[in-house]
Amino acid sequence: MRTETVHTRYFIIVFSICCLLASRAFAQKVDKIVAIVNSDVITEQDLAVFVKVTDVALEQMGGDPGDVRRLFLERLVEDQLILQAAKAQQMKVDEGALDDRIRDMKFRAGSGVAFDQALRSQGLSLTELRAKLREQYLVFSVVQREVRSKVIVTPREVTDYYQEHPSAFSVPESAVVDSVFVEKEEDAAAVRAALADAAAFEEVFREFSKRANLGKVRRGQLKKGLEDFVFALEPGVPSQPYAFDDGFYVFVLRRIDPPSREPLDEVKAEIKKKIEEEKFEKAYKVWIEGLKEKAYISIREE
């Protein structure tokens, strides 16, 4: 699967809609038109703001700046097509959900005053913000209706995926180990002596330990030195104190579980979601290309 996920595309769609409004709020003169999408236009200012606010994405993508600019312009064209499709279907928006979203934004801003200041800094009014949030919901709704709702994954597909990708669900060798962590070496010696005298681990743990019990750990979860120490222990025998961070561990290995495979019942939800996302991405690409084929799109880049 390509690096740019469907979730990233959703973010770009939502983000670009707000960027378009912000750029137009700041525009004091007619911008150069860089693209026409049916009856809507995308200006140089629209594209410049979108590129500017996605500097992180630019850094991650690398490559020729001209190619990146063209890619972002294509994204803006796609976003505009989706918004047009939503409006064409006359989809309704739950105004109460918009109220909740704005309240959440105010809460995250810290106060109503801070929220208003943030809006002014972007050249936006509350009415304009609400209009853009409404468009976000329309975009989400039309993609859900036209693409997501039509993605179906059968139980057979889940089972086949599980059988065809055994390494994806392999479980490495594991150690089930009890641990007591203390800050002083003399306390570690006292813990080891108590456990060697067959004192109940739970009692010793409650009295001495400053950290949670280690429990079950798989190969690769611990630092190499600590992992080698734990997996080499003799079952049932309290270990020598092991210096770690700002204290000492005393371990009691209970058992070693050999490598295994996660049961299908435990991973089928994960598999189903993965297949759904793969199917959705393919279906989304077909759908957006279909919108392009039916649209008038003019790219006016020199």
In the predicted model, what is the mean pLDDT of the chain?
A: 85
Specify the pLDDT at position 10.
47
Specify the pLDDT at position 93.
87
Specify the pLDDT at position 32.
87
Rounded distance between C-alpha atoms, residue 268 and residue 259, angstroms:
20
Residue carrying structure tokens 């707000």: 18
72-96 pLDDT, tens digit each = 888 889 989 999 999 898 888 889 9
Specify the pLDDT at position 59.
52
115-153 pLDDT, tens digit each = 888 888 877 788 888 888 888 888 889 999 999 999 999
Cβ atoms of residues 190 and 208 within 8 Å: yes
Class of the CATH domain delimited by 6-152+272-299 = mainly alpha
Which of 34, 139, 14, 129 has the alpha carbon at shortest distance from 89?
139
User: Can you give the residue ranges of every domain in the chain?
Assistant: 6-152+272-299, 173-258
CATH number of 173-258: 3.10.50.40
Predicted TM-score (pTM) of the model is 0.67
169-179 pLDDT, tens digit each = 999 999 999 99
Rounded distance between C-alpha atoms, residue 171 and residue 75, angstroms:
40
Query: In sequence order, which residues have a C-beta less than 8 Å from that of residue 197 and are 6 or more positions away?
Result: none
282-301 pLDDT, tens digit each = 999 999 999 999 999 998 86
Q: Which residue has the higher pLDDT, 179 or 32?
A: 179
Summarize the confidence of residues 39-46 as an average pLDDT.
Answer: 86
CA distances 289 to 112, 264, 285, Å, are 42, 36, 6
Q: Which ranges of the chain would DSSP assign to H, the alpha helix?
A: 6-26, 44-52, 55-61, 65-88, 95-109, 112-121, 126-146, 155-164, 185-196, 201-208, 224-231, 264-294
Q: Do 6-152+272-299 and 173-258 fold alike per CATH?
A: no
Q: Percent of the chain at pLDDT above 70?
A: 83
Look up residue 240 and give its DSSP letter. P
Rounded distance between C-alpha atoms, residue 146 and residue 130, angstroms:
24
Whether the per-residue pLDDT at 215 is higher than 50: the answer is yes
Cβ atoms of residues 22 and 48 within 8 Å: no
134, burial (CB in 10 Å: exposed 0-12, middle 13-18, buried 19+):
middle
Look up residue 232 and give its DSSP letter. T
The two tokens of residue 190 are 């006292």
CB atoms within 10 A of CB 76: 23
Summarize the confidence of residues 251-260 as an average pLDDT.
Answer: 96
